[in-house]
């Protein structure tokens, strides 16, 4: 959805641009995706055979890229992060393969204006810690 607004979009102070971009996303992409994880969100979970997928929304809840990378900076927002962690625990009991899908690179090998997870290392580490321990 971010490119229906502007590259490197964050959710801070962009409410006027978000509503029409959200509508465009829904009309052209969102409506063909599986149902959202909950009403009114763009992230979703789906399952195919012995594989489960959680597709994250890395834009709608995002802190500004230039914010300090601390415990308050977020790419996912609190609700989505809680939903991801809940999903990981639930599917761990039902499928062998779990995939978490991000629209921006997870690694920190390069940074495009900190628009990748490289600018959100604190939260990325939280996610990785949960995913690493959920299978134990």
pLDDT at position 22 is 76
Residues 127, 132, 135, 136: is their CA dihedral positive or negative?
negative
CA distance 96 to 21: 36
The confidence score (pLDDT) of residue 12 equals 60
**Cα dihedral across residues 109, 112, 118, 124: positive or negative:** negative
Residues of the chain with pLDDT under 50: 1-4
Q: Which residues contact 126 (CB under 8 A, 6 or more apart)?
A: 81
Residue whose C-alpha is closest to residue 42's, from 16, 77, 94, 86: 77
Predicted pLDDT of residue 135 = 64
Q: Residue 103 CB: number of other CB atoms within 10 A?
A: 14
- CA torsion angle 4 12 69 120 (round to 10): -20
**pLDDT tens for residues 96-129?**
999 999 988 887 776 555 678 988 999 999 999 9
């Amino acid at each position: 959805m971010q490119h229906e607004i502007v590259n490197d979009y964050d959710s801070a102070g962009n409410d006027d641009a978000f509503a029409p971009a959200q509508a465009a996303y829904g009309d052209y992409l969102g409506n063909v995706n599986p149902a959202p994880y909950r009403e009114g969100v763009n992230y979703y979970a789906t399952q195919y055979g012995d594989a489960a997928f959680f597709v994250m929304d890395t834009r709608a809840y995002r802190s500004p890229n230039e914010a300090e990378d601390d415990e308050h900076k977020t790419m996912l927002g609190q609700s989505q992060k809680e939903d991801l962690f809940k999903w990981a625990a639930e599917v761990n009991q039902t499928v062998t393969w779990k995939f978490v899908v991000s629209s921006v690179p997870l690694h920190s090998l390069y940074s495009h204006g900190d628009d990748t997870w490289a600018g959100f290392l604190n939260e990325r580490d939280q996610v990785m810690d949960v995913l690493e321990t959920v299978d134990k």
